[in-house]
Structure 1
């Protein structure tokens, strides 16, 4: 797998392109006359720090005092599920119903 790395011009901060020179490849700027020969393999890895995701349903505590209804779980076919309704879109749209299987061994979650 080949991953492309972006290099930036130290003069004008534009992205450098790789072009074929006389005897080697080189980085070149399309905006200014900056050129740098590539004499060795260049590689580095930088993994972005991911943001922490908020549980929009309120986490495990949100399911503590909810009602249950007759709804078949699509995973284990249990015939009962907890449910809650949340307005996830604009006010003129219907509410979204979230379900959690009442079978403690399954606890599958889905929405409708």
Structure 2
């Protein structure tokens, strides 16, 4: 997105027509910027993945309250739960569950 250096409005794109090259133009003032055939990338920004921390640590599983909820993955009937406010204040809180079966440890939300 480019902006007019004269008045600050967003420039509009016009396709090439009748031998004229493509251009950006300002709809409110006479500013025109003709485009070259090659586009140069001004800068590249490398994205870095954020490290995702687990919802339940081993200490959380040992000390968290337990509920009789069936795990959707293994069918075990006991899970640790934690409630968090993940959305805005007028929305209900999210309940996060972790299966207590040692071979499963599946996590899900309600």
1:109 offset after TM fit, Å?
1.9
- Separation in structure 1 between the aligned mates of residue 5 and residue 46 of structure 2, nearest angstrom: 23
The within-5 A match list for 1:1-112 is 6-20=1-15, 22=18, 23-44=20-41, 47=45, 60=57, 62-86=60-84, 89-90=89-90, 96-112=94-110
Instruction: Give per-residue Cα distances to partners, 1:66-100, cap 9 Å, x unaligned.
Output: 1223211112222221123456655xx87643211
Aligned residues: 102
Structure 1: runs of 5 or more not aligned: 1-5
Which contiguous aligned blocks of 4+ residues in structure 1 show a shift greater than 6 angstroms?
A: none
Q: How does the TM-score come out when normalised to structure 2? A: 0.64
**Unmatched tracts of structure 2, length 5 or more:** none
How many angstroms apart in 2 are the aligned matches of 1:30 and 1:84? 55
Over the aligned positions, Cα root-mean-square deviation in angstroms equals 3.4
